[in-house]
Chain A
Amino acid sequence: MFRSLLRANVARSAMISQGPVRFYSPSNLSKTAISSRVIDVIKSFNKTDASSSNPTEITMESSFKKDLGLDSLDTVELIVAMEEEFSIEIPDKVADELTSVAQTVDYIKDHTDAS
């Protein structure tokens, strides 16, 4: 009856000796999937130059400020939209340094468990 309990205990002590173990799965989104979703979020964000009458192409190299014509407040709004899309939290420190599509994609890929 208590054998399973015992086994669990053994397993737990083995785990402690090995150091911390992650039990959540890493983000399995591919880079292409993330970039296409990021670009979709930007497209549906109606303050960019890409949503004007003569749309600019959004590429990985697009800079929020230079190519998309966003000011710092717009960028904050865009970051919030990204957070909602991927259900993640981007710290202010990082958000301040995200200035292009590629940087955003890389951050989401490498530092979060986006879904």
Chain B
Amino acid sequence: MSSVPVPTRRQVLALYKQFIKNSNQFNNYNFRQYFLRKSRSTFKESADLKDTVQVTNMFNEAKKELGILKRQAVISQMYTFDKTVVEPTLKLNHTQ
């Protein structure tokens, strides 16, 4: 197991940044907010992990999930969704 390098703090934060950036790509408000919340809670939960094996496992797991997130974000942009009421509809407000 020792052959696998343990991810550094910077690597983990960089991965988190990728999660946030890709979550922001979602067109649909509900999906976008869900993935932002989900990324945050998952990273926060494992913030206290000390065991190097566990940290490495979580890191690799998260990398796989980032792949899924990226694909889904792209797919979500191929479809249009109606805006939910909580989203600001700036254009409408300006014209009326």
Contacts and interface: CB of A to CB of B under 8 A. Distances in A.
A joins B in a complex: yes
Interface residues of B, number: 13
Contact of B20 (A80, A92, A96): A80
Contacts, number: 29
B38 interface: no
B-side interface mostly: helix
A62 to B, nearest CB: 20
Contacts of B20: 76-77, 80
Nearest to B21: A80
Interface stretch (B8-16, B71-79, B87-95): B8-16
Contacts of B10: 92-93, 96
A11 interface: no
Interface of B: 9-10, 13-14, 16-17, 20-21, 24, 40, 43-44, 47
